[in-house]
């Protein structure tokens, strides 16, 4: 123990106590360096997606009701950019992600990827390059992995679909490199999904999404089903890979603190519409006009700020 102050009323166990510069500025633990964003790679123009559902679940009268999940959704996304998409549950976030992926087709409007329009092409009719270019990390890794296939086999299967590698040996080697990329031990290649934790499963999901060197990755609430203790590590991993690969990341989330931390721009959705779109600083800055921008930002409080409009 060494005396820590002049009169000896405090002592310190630290041997190098005297070397500490108490006036040195604080260093931020992890300063995120954002890469430069590139050209526009994805453009949505007046995208509409309506679902037709039976008017009554009890009586099959043949009457149909229309659910307007997406209404005139327009935005652009650039190379290397992280665009966060926020909005209350049911506002149509997953719907536009499904249309982009080809899991649903659009009712109206266009989605332009490079110079190709893909809004009407379901995933089974898309060419290999388009399928590899637009990938998704799903909300729940428990549902998306095949329970009866080893981790290695699932990633090799994705490589086969994306036509990566000339033979099985090359694909196996690439799969091991993808495990390195998502920071899983290579020994996990022979494990079954049930032998993995939620966070580890999501890492496999991320490895699959990047297996074909995707240009655009949609992460639909990628950590919300995971244990809180692993959420930050999985989010950081996704960001790290996105920066290295210059991927366009569409990050759908409820968590405004994560959104603020990782995104370049933020798009706020409400009842199928885009109600605000701007740089992260702009969207999170307090409103400058005397009239509050009603509904323009998702409220972190459980009380909704706006009266919910009746959905047709
Ligand atoms: P979010 O991801 O923002 O929570 P969704 O895109 O999942 O919202 O849903 C938007 C709206 O579309 C909701 O009202 C939902 O009930 C409806 N919806 C989603 N999928 C279907 C479907 N396959 N058939 C009918 N309605 C759907
Ligand atoms: Mg959703």
More confident site: 5 or 294: 5
| pLDDT of 59 over the 70 cut | no
User: Cα separations (Å) of 240 from 165, 229, 255, 298?
Assistant: 24, 18, 19, 27
Q: pLDDT at position 307, please? A: 47
Q: What percent of the chain has pLDDT over 70?
A: 85
Residues 216-244: pLDDT tens digits?
999 999 999 999 999 999 999 999 999 99
Residues with Cβ < 8 Å from 298, sequence gap 6 or more? 86, 87, 88, 254, 256, 268
Q: pLDDT at position 285, please? A: 86
Which residue ranges form the domains of the chain, and what is each CATH number?
A: 33-141+214-288 (3.40.50.300)
Residues 101-117: pLDDT tens digits?
999 999 999 999 988 99
Confidence band for 304, pLDDT divided at 50, 70 and 90:
very low
Answer yes or no: is the C-beta of 91 below 6 A from any ligand 1 atom. Answer: yes
Q: pLDDT at position 16, please? A: 74
Residues 269-288: pLDDT tens digits?
999 999 999 999 999 987 76
Residues with Cβ < 8 Å from 280, sequence gap 6 or more? 84, 259, 260, 263, 264, 265, 266
| CA dihedral over 19, 24, 26, 30, signed as positive or negative | negative
Distance of CA 308 to the CA centre of its chain: 26
CA distance 207 to 155: 7
Q: pLDDT at position 25, please? A: 58
> Average pLDDT, stretch 70-84?
95
Structure tokens at 80: 């290397």
- Nearest atom (ligand 1) to Cα of 272: 10
CA distance 87 to 297: 8
Q: Measured in angstroms, how far is the CA atom of residue 282 from the centroid of ligand 1? A: 28
Residues 153-182: pLDDT tens digits?
999 999 999 999 999 999 999 999 999 999
Answer yes or no: is the C-beta of 90 below 6 A from any ligand 1 atom. Answer: yes
CA distance 86 to 161: 31
């Amino acid at each position: 123990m060494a005396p820590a102050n002049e009169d000896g009323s405090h002592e310190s166990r630290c041997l190098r106590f005297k070397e500490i510069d108490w006036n040195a500025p604080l260093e931020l633990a992890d300063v995120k360096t954002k890469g430069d964003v590139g050209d526009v790679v994805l453009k949505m123009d007046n995208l509409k997606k309506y679902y037709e559902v039976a008017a009554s679940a009890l009586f099959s009268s043949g009457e149909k009701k229309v659910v307007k999940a997406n209404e005139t959704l327009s935005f652009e996304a650039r190379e290397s950019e992280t665009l966060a998409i926020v909005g209350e549950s049911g506002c149509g976030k997953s719907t536009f992600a499904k249309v982009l992926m080809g899991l649903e087709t659009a009712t109206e409007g266009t989605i332009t990827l490079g110079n190709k329009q893909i809004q009407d092409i379901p995933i089974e009719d898309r060419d290999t390059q388009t399928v590899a270019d637009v990938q998704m990390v799903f909300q729940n890794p428990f549902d998306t992995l095949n329970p009866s296939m080893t981790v290695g086999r699932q990633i090799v299967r994705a490589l086969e679909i994306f036509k990566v590698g000339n033979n099985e040996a090359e694909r196996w080697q690439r799969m091991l490199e993808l495990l390195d990329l998502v920071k899983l031990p290579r020994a996990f290649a022979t494990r079954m999904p049930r032998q993995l934790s939620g966070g580890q499963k999501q890492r496999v999901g991320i490895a699959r999404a990047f297996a074909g060197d995707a240009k655009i990755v949609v992460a639909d609430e990628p950590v919300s089903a995971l244990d809180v203790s692993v959420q930050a590590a999985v989010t950081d991993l996704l960001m790290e890979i996105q920066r290295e690969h210059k991927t366009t990341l569409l990050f759908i989330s409820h968590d405004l603190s994560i959104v603020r931390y990782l995104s370049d721009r933020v798009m706020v959705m409400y009842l199928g519409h885009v109600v605000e779109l701007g740089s992260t600083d702009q969207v999170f800055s307090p409103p400058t006009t005397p009239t509050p921008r009603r509904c323009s930002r998702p409220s972190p409080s459980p009380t909704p700020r706006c009266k919910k409009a009746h959905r047709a």
